[in-house]
Amino acid sequence: MVKLSTSLAALLALVSIVHGAPASNSPTDSSSSASVSSSAAPSTTLSLSSGEVPAGTSSAPSETATVVPASSNPNAPIFLPGADDPAQPIRGPLGANIMGPQNIPIQQQVPDLIAPPTTDHGDVGNAKWPFALSHNRLQTGGWARQQNIEVMPIATQMAGVNMRLEAGAIRELHWHKTSEWAYVLKGTTQVTSVDQDGRNYIGTVHPGDLWYFPPGIPHSLQATNDSAEGSEFLLVFDDGAFSEDETFLLTDWLSHVPMEVLAKSFQMNITAFEHIPSQQLYIFPSEPPASDDLVSSPQGQVPNPFSYPMSQVNATKLSGGSVKIVDSTVFNISQTIAMADVTVEPGAIRELHWHPTQDEWTYFIEGQARVTIFASSSNARTFDYQPGDVGYIPASFGHYVENVGNTTLHYLEIFKSDRFQDISLTQWLALTPPALVKAHLGFDDDAIAHLSKTKQIVVGPA
């Protein structure tokens, strides 16, 4: 009995020491330590024998009784992308300089990979790919470079191609196994097509306009002479494994069919085929199109246009920028690709949000962006983006897009879907019972009242 009493006394002493330890022993800052000390203090009055709570003490512990509050220490980028100073992996007391070989031009583009914010944790797949690192296919008349899962494995649902045509140059008649969606970056392009019912289409698209061709629908692209330089555009395909080299090309097919078969199928003399190319043309120079005159078809024209004049659509103005949303509700033919054209002013942010079931393929046109991707299970990573970069965010991964530069940020959010959908974190909390939000985050009534019940999309500086 003496030994048992001694052990019990030691245990009670240990409990007293743990619960009565001064807050200064905590590794957190003073404000956090004070909160922990305050919330933990009532626990020293609990009866070890019965577990009863003394009169006047709340039975609902504060949120800091479970974990300490998050740190408010600054976590901004250690420098702006493109800064002249050599980038080093140092953030406050953390890290050290690089002593070995360095690729400084690349380091200067990715400050949040070199010296991540302390909120980053765990592992998230690479979500940044510059088209400048893509192999370029050079042709007489233009070029094309692509991004797919070979260079960016996380991007499983969509792939992209950046293509350039000189004035008059033709991306030859072709079709794909996937849908083709396009955004015009510069210049003017004429597109033509014929659908499975023999109905045809011709149209001209300008900077900021879109086109879309469903899988298997044949089409052509030709730069007009509206600009002496021709045109450049972004193509997106609804398959991350897509390869531009696997396109079904008119000349490639005919060069692999016996000539007598061609004559029989076309019901023409074999001499008509003596000048067909011996291999694919892909991109080749030609005279610019003279007009948009459509060949008369007995089956008529396609019921839904294959192009959409988004450049003529007014953007929705927001407190921190603007947005244009285009999906199948307005661009009817676009059944597998939806998009948002977003601008974010300096200091503003595309609010914290996620997309319920659709991966996001992002293309940055102007400005400097910072994006932190939350992948659940305490995994989060921050990436920096410049013009010409591709980003990718899997479905349901929480994220924001912050303008960290001094000019307007302009980028595209693209989804493999017929509808644009997102969930706003602020709106979710605003429409949730306040007591639940307070229990999670410790917000007071003023903070709860400040939550917006409508989506802000792009929020101006606080």
What per-residue string of b and e applies to 33-68 under the rule 16 or more CB within 10 Å gives b?
Answer: bebbbebbebeeeeeeeeeeeeeeeeeeebebeeeb
> Helices (H), strands (E): how many in the chain?
9, 28
Give the span between the Cα atoms of 82 and 111, in whole angstroms.
Answer: 9
Q: Cβ(265)–Cβ(202) under 8 Å?
A: no
Query: Strand runs (DSSP E) across 195-312, as ranges?
Result: 200-205, 210-213, 219-223, 231-237, 248-249, 283-284, 307-308
Tell me whether residue 413 is one of the annotated catalytic residues. yes
Residues 6+ apart with CB under 8 A from 451: 426, 427, 429, 430, 437
Helix, strand or coil, per DSSP, at residue 32: helix
Tokens 């009565």, residue? 20
List the structure tokens of 107: 């380091």
List the structure tokens of 462: 């606080």
Given the residues 166, 345, 402, 413, select the one marked as catalytic: 413
List the structure tokens of 250: 């008119």
Q: In sequence order, which ranges of 182-303 are alpha helices (DSSP H)?
A: 250-254, 259-266
List the structure tokens of 417: 């879907």
Half-sphere exposure of 430 (CA within 13 A, CB side): 13
Give the span between the Cα atoms of 145 and 155, in whole angstroms.
Answer: 16
Catalytic (active-site) positions: 413
